Amino acid sequence: MSRIIKKVAVLVLCGTMLLGFPLQAFCVEPVGVLSYDMLEKEMMAKNPDILDRNKSYGRTVDNADRNNSWSISITSQGISTEKSNYQTVWTEQKAFANYNDLKRTLYLSQAKEAQLTYQLKITTLKESVGRETEENVVKAENALSDQKKATVTAQDNLNKALRDFNLALGQDVDTPLTIESVPEPDLEKIKAINADEDYTAAKLKCYEIRIAELPGNGYDDRQKETVYREFKDSFYSAYKALQDALVEYGYSQKLADIAQHDYEIARKKLGYGILSQLDYVNADYTWNNKLAATVSAKEDLFLAYQKYEWAKRGLIFS
């Protein structure tokens, strides 16, 4: 029986880790460009937390082998280790999307700064010919000053996120690293999902269920039923969140289309000389804001889909 348990424990992590093998033994090339598709592979190979867990579990396996002390707890630890590793991957997948969101925040802050700079210019000119008050000039100056601070903060947040990614990849914080855009969600694939079929397959992979069903693990029937029910509820919640994100993405696209229509009208009016440059700048900023909201909704949809894909692999993440 001990040989069977040993084999199961080792195979749990087969293909996802090298037990206790030091990272320094590899000639690891630093990651210079990180796409979403390569993120899981890179994290599983290089993330310090994942490597530490793998080494720790490797030592447990080695000790059990030397002392002939194999038990269900070692198998359970192997399953839990794999789950924790994937949790780390999911955390970095969310950070990937957040980095792209921070880039948009910086872009919009810079666009707002340009808008306020022009606003200040117009207000100052009006004040010089007596058509605006000094108080409003001061307000415009303060608004621009605050926005410049916001831009600096946005840049700092983006730089910190990049440093955190380097650390998560086990490389120096100053390593040149390009984070690519979040992929486009496959709308047809999302619309074609059969949640009931997916759930039937996913419950066989659920980590909590696998642990609960280990022989001699101490779970009674009532406790097992609780584990089954919780996974089912969480699985269908992930599916509902995905459908909600799909609706929100469609709504954001409509708002962006309206803003684009308004911008095109403003551009034509500017060309005809019947719209001020300031009103045009405002219309342009509004359109860019709506476009950014659409991109954000698109990325939320993509993440909701990825979260559902993890649920299909038996993992429920927040």
pLDDT tens digits along 125-159 = 999 999 999 999 999 999 999 999 999 999 999 99
What integer pLDDT is reported at residue 140 of this predicted model?
95
Percent of the chain with pLDDT over 90: 69
What integer pLDDT is reported at residue 28 of this predicted model?
63
* Weakest-pLDDT range from 11-20, 21-30, 232-241, 253-262: 11-20
Checking 133-140 for CB contacts under 8 A at 24+ apart, the result is: 140/116
pLDDT per position as a tens digit, 62-86: 988 888 877 888 888 999 999 999 9
Mean pLDDT, residues 3-25 taken together? 45
Q: 283 pLDDT exceeds 60?
A: yes
What integer pLDDT is reported at residue 135 of this predicted model?
96
Q: 3 pLDDT exceeds 70?
A: no
Question: Cα 95 from chain centroid?
Answer: 4
pLDDT per position as a tens digit, 173-221: 999 999 999 999 999 999 999 999 999 999 999 999 999 998 887 889 9
Phi, psi of 182 (to 5 degrees): -70, 135
Checking 203-207 for CB contacts under 8 A at 24+ apart, the result is: 203/228, 203/231, 203/232, 203/235, 203/314, 204/314, 205/312, 205/313, 205/314, 206/231, 206/314, 206/315, 207/79, 207/80, 207/82, 207/83, 207/314, 207/315
Mapped onto helix, strand or coil, the DSSP state of residue 19 is: coil
User: Environment class of residue 42 by beta-carbon count within 10 Å: exposed (0-12), middle (13-18) or buried (19+)?
Assistant: middle
Q: 267 pLDDT exceeds 70?
A: yes
**What gap in Å lies between CA 310 and CA 318, rounded to an integer?**
11
Close Cβ partners of 85 (under 8 Å, ≥ 6 residues apart): 16, 17, 44, 50, 53, 54
Residue 310 near residue 316 (C-beta atoms within 8 A): yes
Q: Give start and end residues of each alpha helix (H) in the chain.
A: 2-12, 36-46, 48-67, 72-128, 134-168, 187-191, 195-202, 207-212, 221-272, 277-312
Output the CA angle 297-303-305, nearest 5 degrees. Answer: 105
Output the CA angle 232-13-198, nearest 5 degrees. Answer: 25
**What gap in Å lies between CA 211 and CA 57, rounded to an integer?**
16
What integer pLDDT is reported at residue 286 of this predicted model?
87
Q: 306 pLDDT exceeds 80?
A: yes
User: Environment class of residue 2 by beta-carbon count within 10 Å: exposed (0-12), middle (13-18) or buried (19+)?
Assistant: exposed
| Selected residue with higher pLDDT from 45 and 11 | 45
Q: 318 pLDDT exceeds 80?
A: yes
| DSSP structural state of residue 279 | H
